[in-house]
């Protein structure tokens, strides 16, 4: 008898896709000002840059979501997690509808091993019912029906809610421990 694998909802932006470095790169390119990650700590993304409209401008620009860098270790770890978990990529993409196609293309390029059936581009993540959710925003984790895992980002660095991970290596370690606890 085959047992059901536990499920994980994994966010895209700020979790498998490095939006922080991308915002910094685009800001330098458009405004000629170098911003350091340390300058972003504790500030909402929309308020982190000197021009408060920059983030809104970038996320509404063609190519922004398509050219996001992949978080270090994300591809390898997600592949490995798929051995023991049912993995879903979940992104609240409806706020920026033009991002839908770009996010789909990005996933096809960087995560081609994720089935289209396991990609959820939605408006409100509170509908997601998985055993685990990995996200960088409290607004999504606060309503998580399973175990909430906060992926570290500058904008969430000064608040302690939910279990925090700083890297994909930490994600792998945490979830392997969770599996061991559930087996014994």
Q: What are the pLDDT digits (tens) for 4-17? A: 899 999 999 999 99
CA 148 to chain centre: 13
Categorize the per-residue pLDDT at 1 as very low, low, confident or very high, splitting at 50, 70 and 90.
very low
**What are residue 134's DSSP bridge partners?**
10, 149
**Which residues participate in catalysis according to the annotation?**
11, 13
Per-residue pLDDT of 59-105, as tens digits, reads 999 999 999 999 999 999 999 999 999 999 999 888 887 899 999 99
To the nearest whole percent, how much of the chain has pLDDT over 90? 86
Per residue, what are the HEC states of the chain?
CCCCCCEEEEECECCCECHHHHHHHHHHHHHCCCCCHHHHCCCCHHHCCCCCCHHHHHHCCCCCCCCCCECCCHHHHHHHHCCCCEEEEEECHHHCCCHHHHHHHHHHHHCCCCCHHHEEECCCHHHCCCCEEEECCHHHHCCCCCEEEEECCHHHCCCCCCEEECCHHHHHHHHHHHHHHHHC
| % of the chain residues with pLDDT over 70 | 97
pLDDT of 163 above 80: yes
Cα 176 to Cα 133: distance, rounded to the nearest angstrom: 15
pLDDT for res 183: 60
Rg (Cα) of the chain, in Å, rounded?
16
How far apart (Å, rounded) are the C-alpha atoms in residues 98 and 108?
17
Q: How many Å separate Cα 168 from the centre of its chain? A: 11
Residues in the chain: 184
99 within 8 A of 114, measured Cβ to Cβ? no
pLDDT at 116 over 80: yes
pLDDT of residue 180: 84
Q: Residue 113: how many CA atoms within 13 Å on its side-chain side?
A: 12
pTM for the full predicted model: 0.94
Write the burial class of residue 4 (CB in 10 Å: 0-12 exposed, 13-18 middle, 19+ buried).
exposed
* Bridge partners of residue 148, in order along the sequence: 133
Phi, psi at 149, each rounded to 5°: -125, 120
């Amino acid at each position: 008898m085959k047992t059901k694998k536990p499920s994980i909802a994994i966010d895209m932006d700020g979790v498998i896709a490095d939006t922080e470095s991308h915002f910094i790169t685009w800001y330098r390119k458009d405004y000629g000002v170098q911003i350091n990650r340390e300058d972003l700590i504790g500030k909402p993304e929309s308020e982190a840059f000197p021009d408060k409209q920059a983030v809104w401008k970038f996320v509404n620009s063609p190519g922004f979501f398509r050219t996001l860098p992949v978080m270090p270790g994300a591809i390898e770890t997600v592949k490995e997690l798929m051995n023991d978990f049912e993995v879903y990529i979940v992104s609240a993409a409806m706020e920026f509808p033009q991002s839908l196609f770009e996010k789909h293309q990005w996933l096809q390029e960087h995560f081609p091993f994720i089935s289209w059936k396991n990609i959820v581009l939605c408006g409100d993540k509170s509908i997601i019912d998985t055993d685990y959710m990995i996200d960088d925003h409290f607004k999504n984790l606060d309503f998580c029906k399973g175990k909430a895992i906060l992926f570290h980002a500058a904008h969430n660095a000064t608040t302690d809610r939910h279990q925090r991970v700083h890297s994909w290596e930490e994600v792998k370690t945490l979830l392997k421990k969770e599996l061991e606890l559930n087996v014994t």
